Structure 1
């Protein structure tokens, strides 16, 4: 037996807001991939950019769009936390796994996973929405650490880029939570 709920009235909450709750963050048109101002794409390496959507200092995660316009190996890295990815355009995979991420697919990468990201020949552009918790440790094939990336390095890269392209270093602050 199911009990039907009464229809809710369209009345907004009128109570006191909870203290210390940050403002909502809404970015219109984020999936209009061909209509994004090029200045918003932060260069990561040649033919690789990211566009920040949110950067959580207090929780150590970031969500961004990663755009790659080259074939080949992008990076080999280990995750300290979980990663969620939704591929919006193109395709990519990890050399260590048999699956391929193609447009419209979702993938989950567990903490501790080490993998080598490759964009295949014939893929003119790959864009994936990544939600990264923790950090990436870039590693050699034997696992030797050669670099680290986290929310703080992402913020610094974005701030430096936005200053360079005339948006101002503070432009990144809109993504901080």
Structure 2
């Protein structure tokens, strides 16, 4: 039997049926602070985790940097997309400032230091693909944040504070 004959003899199942049988139906991730807490990220920032996909090493979250705050220098090992929700922010290494509604797209290998000098701080939705390497103020490697780091960040905080872990976040 040739390969085309073999393929035509396999039972055909419409895409819709395959999706029903094996696909994730999606999830609702509440945005309220009680069911989806802001997890501290250093002294000047917090992260509201939204989704984790261990199959693709991706995570979605909202980053909140308080006015006058910054996130240490970091290098992306994958593509990152962001939409600014509130306030303004930028990178010391670039000459633009992101404001509500602005879209930022970052390529693997880029390194920069995020800051917000907006008195009200900033909030931006990030979709992170791959790991991020963080460095200290002397440019020494500090740690790597990948999907597993973000999961641990969220789960550890929930467990330490008696909060229920939202399993719908694990897509």
What is the TM-score when the length of structure 1 is the normalising length?
Answer: 0.79
1:172 Cα deviation from its structure 2 partner: 4.0
Give the superposed CA RMSD: 2.3
Match of 2:97 among 91, 97, 100: 100
Q: Secondary structure at the match of 1:23?
A: coil
How far, CA to CA, are the matches of 1:123 and 1:74 in structure 2? Answer: 16
CA contact (8 A) 1:83 1:131 kept: yes
Instruction: Find the counterpart in structure 2 of residue 5 from structure 1.
Output: none
Q: Secondary structure at the match of 1:101?
A: coil
1:38 Cα deviation from its structure 2 partner: 7.7
CA contact (8 A) 2:29 2:169 kept: no
How far, CA to CA, are the matches of 1:165 and 1:78 in structure 2? Answer: 31
Q: Secondary structure at the match of 2:128?
A: strand
- In structure 2, relative to structure 1, the CA distance for the partners of 1:135 and 1:109 (3 Å cut) is same
Instruction: Find the counterpart in structure 1 of residue 123 from structure 2.
Output: 127
Unpaired runs of 5+ residues, structure 1, are 1-12
Q: Secondary structure at the match of 1:74?
A: strand
Instruction: Find the counterpart in structure 2 of residue 20 from structure 1.
Output: 22
CA contact (8 A) 1:73 1:116 kept: yes
| Superposition misfits of 4+ residues, deviation over 6 angstroms | none
How far, CA to CA, are the matches of 1:124 and 1:116 in structure 2? Answer: 19
Instruction: Find the counterpart in structure 1 of residue 160 from structure 2.
Output: 164
Structure (1/2) with the larger helix percentage: 2
CA contact (8 A) 1:44 1:50 kept: yes
How far, CA to CA, are the matches of 2:119 and 2:67 in structure 1? Answer: 7
Instruction: Find the counterpart in structure 1 of residue 167 from structure 2.
Output: 173
- In structure 2, relative to structure 1, the CA distance for the partners of 1:119 and 1:38 (3 Å cut) is farther
What is the TM-score when the length of structure 2 is the normalising length?
Answer: 0.81
1:174 Cα deviation from its structure 2 partner: 2.0
How far, CA to CA, are the matches of 1:143 and 1:20 in structure 2? Answer: 45
Number of residues of Structure 1 aligned to a counterpart in Structure 2: 157
1:17 Cα deviation from its structure 2 partner: 3.7
